[in-house]
């Protein structure tokens, strides 16, 4: 795991049950973060079991080529993908949710952004057979602006703040295909029969930027007056572009080795 909080300077702002946090990567941790992302990125784009099958059948060059065809070439797509990877890691490491589906494995084209909710996290109460959901929006830009934060808020508030129906059905279908029928059934029951209440839901706005998010992102955080629990995290890496370029080049170098 990336342990972002352990490798960053942390400031925190609490309002009732909502939390705004800024993480600023320590300069001495840059290489460690880059190496961790190089290790994580292949699993973002392809199921390790699928790669293992290709490796066993066709050899390492074919398995490497399979991965290379999934890696985006466009800078803003790469930036957004890194943002989703970092957000997913934060969700599982610090918020206690599990992200059962890495949706970028199902992207139509490597240079196209996927539609729908960026990340959906889940916590299951096995005894009561109930679910809590986290709906996350990840924004990755060198410089944070009010327009970016306004778009994120709009996307989080779509569908009355609930996870998009098509996004939940996508998760349920992928879980069913992977053999996790029980969780797939539970998601569909909650979505289609029981309904999702606001107390079963949390929002995360995660930004990955070079600029300092402390002012604008806090302003957007303080402007929320809804009833859904909010977590807002700004992850600042001053060498933002260098990190993205270094990570993808590192992955490509490994695959071509």
pLDDT digits (tens, 9 = 90+) for 83-111: 999 999 999 999 999 999 999 989 888 88
Least confident of 105-114, 202-211, 214-223: 105-114
Nearest to 250 by CA among 89, 25, 39: 39
CB 39 within 8 A of CB 48: no
**What are residue 236's phi and psi, to 5 degrees?**
-105, 125
Asked if residues 202 and 133 have their Cβ atoms less than 8 Å apart, the reply is yes
List, in order, residues 6 or more apart from 33 with CB less than 8 Å away: 2, 4, 7, 25, 237, 243
Query: In 10 A of CB 99, how many CB atoms?
Result: 19
Q: What is the mean pLDDT of residues 49-66?
A: 87
Position 2 scores a pLDDT of 67
* Residue 1's pLDDT band (cuts 50, 70, 90): low
Q: Residue 71 pLDDT > 70, yes or no? A: yes
CA 45/CA 140 separation, integer angstroms:
18
List the structure tokens of 99.
């992200």
**What is the tens place of the pLDDT at every residue in 153-187?**
999 999 999 999 999 999 999 999 999 999 999 99
pLDDT digits (tens, 9 = 90+) for 115-124: 778 999 999 9
Q: Give the rounded distance of the alpha carbon of 165 from its chain centre.
A: 18
Contact 201, 228 (CB under 8 A): yes
pLDDT at 113 over 90: no
The rounded percent of the chain whose pLDDT value lies above 70 is: 99
Which pair of structure tokens corresponds to residue 95? 């918020």
pTM, 2 dp? 0.93
Of 108, 133, 132, nearest to 120 by C-alpha is 133
The whole-number average pLDDT for the span 188-205 is 94
Cβ atoms of residues 120 and 163 within 8 Å? yes
User: Which residues on neighbouring strands pair with residue 38, listed in sequence order?
Assistant: none
Is the pLDDT reported for residue 132 higher than 90? Answer: yes
């Amino acid at each position: 795991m990336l342990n972002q909080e352990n490798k960053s300077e942390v400031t925190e702002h609490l309002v009732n049950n909502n939390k705004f946090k800024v993480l600023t990567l320590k300069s001495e941790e840059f290489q460690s973060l880059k190496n961790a992302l190089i290790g994580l990125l292949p699993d973002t784009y392809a199921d390790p079991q699928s790669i293992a099958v290709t490796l066993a059948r066709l050899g390492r060059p074919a398995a490497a080529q399979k991965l290379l065809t999934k890696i985006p070439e466009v800078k803003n797509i790469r930036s957004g993908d890194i943002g989703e990877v970092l957000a997913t890691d934060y969700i599982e490491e610090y918020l206690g949710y599990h992200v059962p589906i890495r949706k970028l494995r199902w992207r139509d084209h490597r240079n196209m952004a996927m539609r729908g909710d960026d990340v959906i996290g889940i916590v299951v109460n096995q005894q009561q057979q109930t679910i809590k959901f986290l709906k996350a929006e990840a924004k990755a830009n060198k410089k944070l602006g009010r327009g970016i934060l306004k778009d994120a808020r709009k996307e989080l508030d779509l569908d009355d703040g609930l996870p998009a129906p098509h996004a939940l059905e996508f998760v349920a279908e992928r879980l069913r295909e992977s053999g996790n029928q029980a969780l797939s059934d539970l998601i569909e029951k909650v979505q289609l029969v029981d309904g999702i209440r606001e107390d079963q839901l949390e929002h995360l706005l995660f930004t990955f930027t070079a600029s300092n998010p402390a002012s604008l992102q806090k302003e957007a955080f303080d402007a929320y007056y809804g009833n859904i629990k909010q977590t807002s995290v700004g992850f600042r890496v001053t060498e933002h572009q260098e990190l993205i370029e270094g990570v993808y080049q590192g992955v490509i170098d490994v695959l071509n080795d």
